[in-house]
Amino acid sequence: MKYLDEFRDPSLARTLVENIRRRSTRPIRIMEFCGTHTVSVFKHGIRQLLPSTIEMLSGPGCPVCVTANADLDWAIAVAREPDVILTTFGDMLRVPGSHSSLEKAKADGADVRVVYSTLDALQVARDNPNRLVVFLGIGFETTAPTIAVSVLQAEADDITNYYVLSLHKLTPPATKAILDSGESRLDGIIGPGHVTTIIGSQAWEFLPRDYGISCVIAGFEPLDVLQGIHTLADRIEASRPEVCNAYSRSVRPEGNEVALDYMYRVFEISAADWRGIGKVPASGLKFRERYRRFDARERFEVDPGPTLEPPGCLCGDVIRGVKTPPECGLYRKVCTPHNPVGPCMVSSEGTCAAYYLYAGEQNQLTRKK
Ligand code: SF4
């Protein structure tokens, strides 16, 4: 298949659904790690097409949602520092921190600017040599190499007023942490297609080896997702756990070695704080010694105040797949995309926003107990 429409062909979708129905005979639980998959599943009504034997859970795969409040508070505090321009991707703007948000800080006079790439942030630094330009570095393995490249470019161009707050996260260790917690019994995982394009499908081999769980790497169109679910159902029924690459037009076993090389040239692996999961060893990226002068944590000393979570918000449980948005008392009543209480409702890839936008009143209550 070559064109997008072919990945949305209704007759092929019907065939795949029929194959899934025929193959799936016992109850199984599948988690899609990635927020883009979550949106695709909801947008195309995939949950409603599946047999009652298959329960789909959404995982922590939205970088905005998993950014810990303490880290967001720190970024907001830096944005309020004199001479600072804080650059960020747009999704972070409205996420409520403990006491404020970047949007409110901007309304209060902080210079917060939305950029579409790290190279835009670098240009802001070039254009404002007398200001301190900080880029809020959130994202998984897909984004981190581009941020590493911006640091290398800053070094090459001798830009001395560019800093990155590295809040990057690595996805396999978080998946391990969710499985190790034992809170969610999972039979299969739909692995993140974009992330795996960078890290390679080999990075998920620990799932069948250490946990006896199958993992399918899938693309994001409806046929991609249905094919992924069929593959998982097949492996689970056959009791043959393995990693399957159903996104071979993008993913290779070894990943993108050039991107990984850039990423690990600038960053090294460290612990990271995940909303809802807590501190996960070896799940983040910190600056290597050589590039520490670009590290916003080294340059600024700020007091963001005590960390608070929004009362009643279950984002942490939603991120771990332990609760669904309708199980949150604030969902739809108080918390909506226009008035988000937690990050899962702010982000376009957040589970709560996906439920709100696509699930419909009837389908929000379809989670099997
Ligand atoms: Fe948090 Fe709102 Fe989702 Fe509830 S509905 S978990 S308050 S984002």
Question: Which tens digit of pLDDT belongs to each residue from 321-353?
Answer: 899 999 999 999 999 999 999 999 998 889 999
Q: pLDDT tens, 141-194?
A: 999 999 999 999 999 999 999 999 999 999 999 999 999 998 888 999 999 999
Mean pLDDT over residues 48-66, rounded? Answer: 92
Q: Where on the phi/psi map is residue 191: left (φ > 0), alpha (ψ -120 to 50), or beta?
A: beta
| pTM of the shown model | 0.91
Cα separation, 226 vs 247, whole angstroms: 12
Q: Is the pLDDT of residue 365 over 50?
A: no
CA angle 72, 69, 31 (to 5 degrees): 110
Q: Residue type at 154?
A: A
Rounded CA gap, 215 and 208, in Å? 8
Average model confidence (pLDDT) across the chain: 93
pLDDT at 61 over 90: no
Over residues 26-38, the pLDDT tens digits come to: 999 999 989 899 9
Which atom of ligand 1 is found nearest the CA of 351? Answer: 3
Starting at the edge strand that comes first in sequence, how are the strands of the sheet with 132-137 ordered? 111-114, 84-88, 132-137, 162-166
Count other Cβ atoms within 10 Å, centred on residue 276: 23
pLDDT digits (tens, 9 = 90+) for 98-117: 999 999 999 999 999 999 99
- Assess contact for 59 and 33: CB atoms under 8 A: yes
Pairing mode of beta strands 54-61, 111-114: unpaired
- For residue 286, the cross-strand partners are 268
Ligand 1 is surrounded, with C-beta below 6 A, by 313-315, 318, 325, 328, 330-331, 335, 341-342, 344-345, 352
* DSSP tag of 321: T
Ligand 1 atom closest to the CA of 329, numbered from 1: 4
| pLDDT attached to residue 348 | 83
> From atom 8 of ligand 1, which residue's Cα is the shortest distance away?
342
Which element (helix H / strand E) includes 244?
A: strand 243-245
Residues contacting 143, CB < 8 A, separation 6+: 63, 137, 168
pLDDT value of residue 2: 65
Is residue 354's pLDDT more than 70? yes
Cβ distance 203 to 175 under 8 Å? no
Helix (H, G, I), strand (E, B) or coil at 290: helix
Per-residue pLDDT tens digits for 273-285: 999 999 999 999 9
pLDDT at 367: 40
Band of the pLDDT at 368, cuts 50, 70, 90? Answer: very low
Q: What's residue 360's pLDDT? A: 64
Which ligand 1 atom lies nearest to the CA of residue 331?
5
Q: Which H or E run contains 163?
A: strand 162-166
